[in-house]
Chains A and B, each alone.
Chain A
């Protein structure tokens, strides 16, 4: 599409810029304040550039008080652990629902649809009880297990698998592949866009999750990034906003950086899950 001349485009660009400024405001100030010393923060001026740089103090304080790196690693372990099991369980099930004929298929799919309606928070209480009974509180298992069955993944992959031509699968069968091989060697590689889309969707959702980790984790070294910030806030009962912003920046950075590097993928992921969902 051709661009309109800049003059005519200005009103549109101005409106968008205004909205963009509001959206970016927290980021801008987060960065600015994280390098300001406490006295400057309390001056409540609108200036963004610090007169005295406190980068080392603020970030140093954060890194000394909470093991940021550990939390980020925890976040990665949990998110990718969840993703691994979600795909492991959902893909074969989605294939069976999409391509195989068996009695009870409609019933299973009905349950899948039902699961889509139920937010995970509704099952938190009994799951906590169960995990407690098994003595698995404060463990990666507790963080990962409840999310291993993603009905959304089953639903999404089923839609994609249905579009794969039956002949491709029949050719694989004639070549001697068993159904398990077909799932992982033929079907999934042909639905990679769906897989990446779902991966992004899942990682973003679980990286952000606070409700469940808050319930099952009490030990500091297993905190997820979200809990890490809460922990730092409670330690920092005072108002050292400089350090607070530094902490916030540190734990937000990984996913934001990943997003900026692979924007298209992220947005395609969310869009695709939206259009198929």
Chain B
């Protein structure tokens, strides 16, 4: 009976039959179970979340707070001491030409990559969905860049875009057009990097759009046809575009955050040059922190970076979410 009582008040209605069993075969012991008290699952829940909480605090929360603090100091790695300098770092930023180039280039890059990769991905998705031939094939082809090592593919693009021996310029030479130095001239470098960025992101956005498109009930298209929508265009505006709302929101947010975090291609191909023409935020953070070891300054830039990311997300969710239905 003692073992049965261990079931606790929540299971007291089981007591009687269990008691009979226990009396009839005393050699059989009911399994001991953790008592689930009526107070709730608090104990076990905290136990289950503990590892995650610890990891979260150690790897995310505390470092975040540390960055917040560092941004207002002049700490340099290896220095004996450091001081609070209030907004000193931020003041420095305003006069820092590298920083202003960095912000400008990152914004230009995002504004280049996001609309293009989203628009192209949408067109490709609609094209793929419009027919039955080779869907899996097209999906796989366009998705390849997503699973390919960015640094390696950047190297491949470097070859393709090489001013003298690359096939792109070889082709341009054949048709008599100009042959710019794609990655070496400050006029073209951001565009070239942006193009590579679009190349990287289209596949990712494409599969998201494909999922969104397949989720649209076929019946809506039949209904729109009956209602008089003859052309593919009318059906797109009446059914496809509105129904893609939630997917579009997600794709925009994802693409913007991915573009703003551009680093690999820049670090591999141009190292921010020529002349800061391809310097981007993450690279500046990296340089200031781990090349010049100016941790305080780097932390300040990190803070700016974080604010921009959060701001973007906020604006997008507010602006677009309102007009998106979740029908």
Residues of A within 8 A of B (CB): 1-4, 9, 12-13, 15-16, 19-20, 22-27, 29-30, 33, 41-46, 85, 88-90, 92-93, 95-97, 100-103, 105, 108, 111, 115, 117-119, 121-130, 145-149, 151, 154, 173, 176, 178-180, 183, 204, 207-208, 210-211, 214-215, 225-226, 229-230, 233, 241, 244-245, 247-249, 251-252, 255-256, 258-260, 263-264, 266-267, 270-271, 274-275, 277
For B290, the chain A residues whose CB sits under 8 A away are: 128, 214-215
CB <8 Å contact, A1 and B132: yes
Q: Looking at the assembled complex, report how far the CB atom of A133 sits from the nearest CB atom of chain B, in whole angstroms.
A: 11
CB <8 Å contact, A93 and B52: yes
For A2, the chain B residues whose CB sits under 8 A away are: 132
Q: Interface readout for B35-52 with A: 1 if CB under 8 Å, 0 if not?
A: 010001110111011011
Q: A20-B138, A44-B170 are in contact. List 16 more A-B contacts (CB 8 A).
A: A16-B127, A26-B157, A26-B160, A102-B40, A119-B261, A124-B289, A225-B152, A229-B151, A241-B159, A245-B155, A252-B148, A259-B147, A263-B136, A266-B147, A267-B143, A274-B247
For A247, the chain B residues whose CB sits under 8 A away are: 152, 155
For B215, the chain A residues whose CB sits under 8 A away are: 275
CB <8 Å contact, A23 and B145: yes
CB <8 Å contact, B49 and A241: no
CB <8 Å contact, B139 and A263: yes
Residues of B within 8 A of A (CB): 31, 33-34, 36, 40-42, 44-46, 48-49, 51-53, 55-56, 58-64, 66-67, 70, 77, 120, 124, 127-128, 130-133, 136, 138-153, 155-157, 159-160, 162, 164-167, 169-171, 174, 199, 202-204, 207-208, 210-211, 215, 247, 250, 254, 257, 261, 263-264, 267-268, 282, 285-286, 289-290, 295, 298-299, 302-303, 305-306, 309-310, 313
| Known contacts A102-B46, A111-B61, A123-B64, A42 near B165 by CB under 8 Å | yes
Give the docked Cα–Cα distance between A146 and B299 (Å).
Answer: 18
Question: Nearest 6 A-B pairs (CB), nearest first?
Answer: A149-B55, A126-B66, A123-B63, A248-B152, A93-B52, A92-B48
Q: Looking at the assembled complex, report how far the CB atom of A196 sits from the nearest CB atom of chain B, in whole angstroms.
A: 15
CB <8 Å contact, B59 and A270: no
From A4, A9, A93, A128, residue with most partner B Cβ within 10 Å: A93
Contact of B51 among A92, A126, A204 (CB under 8 A): A92
Contact of A117 among B142, B295, B309 (CB under 8 A): B309
| Known contacts A100-B44, A118-B60, A119-B257, A154 near B141 by CB under 8 Å | no
For B309, the chain A residues whose CB sits under 8 A away are: 117-119
Give the docked Cα–Cα distance between A258 and B146 (Å).
Answer: 13
B310's nearest neighbour on chain A, judged by CB, is: A117
Contact of B155 among A41, A126, A244, A266 (CB under 8 A): A244
CB <8 Å contact, B170 and A46: yes
Q: Looking at the assembled complex, report how far the CB atom of A84 sits from the nearest CB atom of chain B, in whole angstroms.
A: 12
For A146, the chain B residues whose CB sits under 8 A away are: 59
B313's nearest neighbour on chain A, judged by CB, is: A117
For A215, the chain B residues whose CB sits under 8 A away are: 286, 290
CB <8 Å contact, B156 and A29: yes
Contact of A93 among B51, B58, B166, B174 (CB under 8 A): B51
For A154, the chain B residues whose CB sits under 8 A away are: 52
For A264, the chain B residues whose CB sits under 8 A away are: 136
CB <8 Å contact, B156 and A30: yes
| Known contacts A117-B309, A176-B31, A211-B286, A44 near B157 by CB under 8 Å | no
For A256, the chain B residues whose CB sits under 8 A away are: 144, 147-148
CB <8 Å contact, A149 and B144: no
For A1, the chain B residues whose CB sits under 8 A away are: 132
CB <8 Å contact, A248 and B156: yes
| Known contacts A125-B295, A267-B139, A29 near B167 by CB under 8 Å | yes
Give the docked Cα–Cα distance between A180 and B43 (Å).
Answer: 12
Give the docked Cα–Cα distance between A125 and B66 (Å).
Answer: 9
Give the docked Cα–Cα distance between A144 and B156 (Å).
Answer: 28
Q: Looking at the assembled complex, report how far the CB atom of B184 sits from the nearest CB atom of chain A, in whole angstroms.
A: 13
Q: Looking at the assembled complex, report how far the CB atom of B293 sits from the nearest CB atom of chain A, in whole angstroms.
A: 10
CB <8 Å contact, A101 and B60: no
CB <8 Å contact, A149 and B56: yes
For A13, the chain B residues whose CB sits under 8 A away are: 131, 133
For B51, the chain A residues whose CB sits under 8 A away are: 88-89, 92-93
For B210, the chain A residues whose CB sits under 8 A away are: 271
CB <8 Å contact, A25 and B160: yes
CB <8 Å contact, A233 and B257: no
Give the docked Cα–Cα distance between A85 and B56 (Å).
Answer: 12
Give the docked Cα–Cα distance between A258 and B34 (Å).
Answer: 44
